[in-house]
Amino acid sequence: MRDRARQRALAEAKSHRASAEELRDAGKRVKELEQELQTTIQIQPETKQGEERRQRYSRLLRIRAMRDEFTRGRQLEADHPNGLLLAVVMGVAAFMLCGFCAGGTIVGLQVLTYKPSPQATATAFWQDVEQQNYELLVTSNVLSPTLRVQYNTPTELEQMAQPADSYYGTVTNYTLIEEGGDMTQTATLTYSVTRGTNKVYKATLGLVLYGGNWGVNDLGSSLVPSENGSLPPPPSPTPSPTQVPTPTVTPILGASSGRGPAGPLSTAA
């Protein structure tokens, strides 16, 4: 309340225009103020020696009472709802950021520690054979560079696999039954392969590691089951008989009348 009254008095003084009498007395008033400023102000004893403990305690009580009075006269504003919402959003964002960092770290470690597997390459090979996708088998990295050069066109590999697919049936199942090799540079995987419904045979794939990737380097009997004697070979196609053309006889002109080619027959004299 005192502050408001003081501010109101200052505002009235600023808006008040000095009269002619006040302007005449202004010089006198200035001199009075200068004399007051030149007057020595007496310093209180507590200022020189410090206040006593009882006086300091009284001053603290007086300040505390003034603060309580000020607090009772003014209600504290409640927290704005946007502050709580901002705290929730910041918490969720921090949690998502931590999750993203953790996931990125795990994926990075998996990429750095990833080692190719010969079994995965062999599985991709059998999937292409099962689907008779020989074009993809040649153009992809499933085969080693040696076999890709050997079967440079999908037609050659398809011509080799077509007789077995037609006679025994396509591959319907394959199961890994044996592993061999050092499994670091070379691998030998033996599978039990089923063609059609009941044609079962063993096929061994040879794989090599090149450029950090595994590739099938030896097809074994995977596409030709009769190669290792597991299944009888398909019958050879019977050649179709060829018809011998019948010769065409052209009659000689004049043969039936007894005339020679040179002209009519001569009669005896």
> How do residues 38-79 score in pLDDT, each as one tens digit?
776 677 776 667 777 888 888 889 999 998 888 887 766 555
Going by the DSSP 8-state scheme, the letter that residue 41 receives in this structure is P
The full set of domain ranges for the chain reads: 85-114, 118-228
pLDDT of residue 265: 43
Determine the distance from the C-alpha atom of residue 133 to the mean position of all C-alpha atoms in its chain, rounded to a whole number: 27
pLDDT of residue 161: 85
pLDDT in tens, 207-255: 998 877 888 888 888 888 877 666 777 776 555 555 556 666 565 555 4
Contact 223, 164 (CB under 8 A): yes
- What three-state secondary structure class fits 71? helix
Phi, psi of 222 (to 5 degrees): -65, -40
Q: Please give the biggest Cα pair distance in the chain.
A: 197
Instruction: Give the mean pLDDT of 25-42.
Output: 79
**Superfamily name and number for 118-228:** NTF2-like; domain 1 (3.10.450.100)
pLDDT in tens, 76-106: 655 555 777 888 888 899 989 888 888 888 8
As a whole number of angstroms, the distance between CA 88 and CA 94 comes to 10
As a whole number of angstroms, the distance between CA 20 and CA 25 comes to 9
Task: Name the residue among 262, 245, 244 with its Cα closest to residue 253.
Answer: 262
- What three-state secondary structure class fits 201? strand
Task: Name the residue among 191, 160, 159 with its Cα closest to residue 174.
Answer: 191
Strand partners for 209: 214
